[in-house]
Chain A
């Protein structure tokens, strides 16, 4: 009674029952065109609250909808023509979802393009819709006091300019780099130094390497969570920001590796992995009515999957769905 056996000899279990979907992010190396691959055979039963590096928890999502746009046509032969085979004429997969939480990553992914950190402006900066000229950055100290880590930034006496709750962007200066910029995650594409005005703060303006200060001790800013890019490297500086901004119509396409997990009530698990996802719509949001006139604003995203080659057989594919059966004896 615990299982039935199909004609093919494959044990059939009860259908997975899940209450929601958990989403995870990992960066794509845009310069090399290499996504982060998730191996469900090795890591499929990871703790949902502690994803394996470099995967980052995006929290629960709702309205998770996978759409298959693949077209299958018949190959016909004879008179009258009869289907003698099939061929895939187009292969496409898309994902729709709404994030349950707002954060730098969620807002960035939902925006679909580069997202700007609203850096604290310099005194007298001219108004600009994505943030005016930024204040001078604060260097990370080396050789004086403790070394900075992914969760603590040694800024020395400059710490007086920060307070608990300050948002900080930590990244290198812009010194004329071309192409993808942003440490840890490619955050924007610079076509020319003149396009970004040679702004020394440009990389910090777009970086996803941001954090929140939760304590300040002896010139060291303690962060709420580790910086996505890990331990700051030489030359990185700190800029304060007040929030985030994205635009409709920018040219950059954000790309990420996505993993979606549906935990089953019996310990079974369905994992859907898209090695390469790009937004297929601009920034948008939906309003969820709470009680008039209150509405909760939900970040919504629509993404199109891009192809990768499966190393096992060289096939070009868009996504991977893995099913891990329950380990309970009764199902």
Chain B
């Protein structure tokens, strides 16, 4: 299941970075594309804005087929305070831009990507291709919430993959 999560994250990060390379975040002193997985970062009460934060919030396993079909719910949270140069009055526009980027990234074809094993990946070591695809349904956009000067939204998407031999 970790390979499914990692593969989906890397797919989404690369697609979003291609759509808007300027959306970045500094994490522990390193500039990264503006998409991260909460559970992979240091716990913090700080909520980064103008980036996409992934949380894995649901899990179902269907064992009726020749391979277990794993369905995971990914919640994608994003928020913006607007830009200081505009006194935050552009926060609606910035949230709309993030909505559009996320819709484009998840709506683009193909709607499947080869599953990769990142467990041994690192500097100079590439991830290992696996034998099945990870695929996903259409995103469901939640309502925009205004919290003080901040606008935020949570979008969920169901991500599917088959559990391969050796993953159990």
Residues of chain A at the chain B interface (Cβ within 8 Å): 1-4, 12-15, 17, 19, 265-267, 328-331
Contacts and interface: CB of A to CB of B under 8 A. Distances in A.
Contacts of A331: 67, 131-132, 162
Contact of A3 (B66, B112, B138): B66
Contacts of B67: 1-2, 14, 330-331
Contacts of B131: 2, 328-331
B65 A1 contact: no
Contact of A2 (B115, B137, B164): B164
Contacts of B164: 1-2, 330
Contacts, number: 52
A19 B67 CA distance: 20
Contact of B133 (A3, A13, A265): A265
A15 B66 CA distance: 9
Q: Sort A-B residue pairs by CB-CB distance and give the 5 closest, nearest first.
A: A330-B131, A1-B165, A265-B135, A330-B132, A329-B131
Nearest to A5: B66
A266 B66 contact: no
A265 B112 contact: yes
* Residues of B in contact with A, size category: 20 to 34
B132 A266 contact: yes
A328 B132 contact: yes
B112 A12 contact: no
B162 to A, nearest CB: 6
Main secondary structure of the interface of A (DSSP, over half): loop
Contact of A267 (B66, B69, B133, B165): B133
Given A14-B65, A17-B160, A328-B131, 9 more contacts: A1-B67, A15-B65, A19-B111, A265-B111, A265-B112, A267-B112, A328-B114, A330-B162, A331-B67
A4 B66 contact: yes
B111 A14 contact: no
Main secondary structure of the interface of B (DSSP, over half): strand
B130 interface: yes
B133 A266 contact: yes
A2 B130 CA distance: 11
A330 B114 CA distance: 11
12 contacts: A1-B165, A2-B164, A15-B65, A17-B160, A265-B111, A265-B133, A267-B112, A267-B133, A330-B67, A330-B115, A330-B132, A331-B162
Contacts of A267: 112, 133
Interface in B3-20: none
A17 to B, nearest CB: 7
B70 to A, nearest CB: 12
Nearest to B137: A19
A22 to B, nearest CB: 11
Interface string B125-140: 0000011110101100
A14 B165 contact: no
A330 B66 contact: no
Contacts of B112: 265-267
A14 B69 contact: yes
Contacts of A14: 65-67, 69, 162
A13 B115 CA distance: 17
B103 to A, nearest CB: 15
Interface in B127-168: 130-133, 135, 137-138, 160, 162, 164-166
Contacts of B114: 328
B163 to A, nearest CB: 8
Contacts of A2: 67, 131, 164-165
A323 B112 CA distance: 19
**Listed residue (B112, B114, B160, B165) with the most chain A CB atoms within 10 angstroms of its CB:** B112
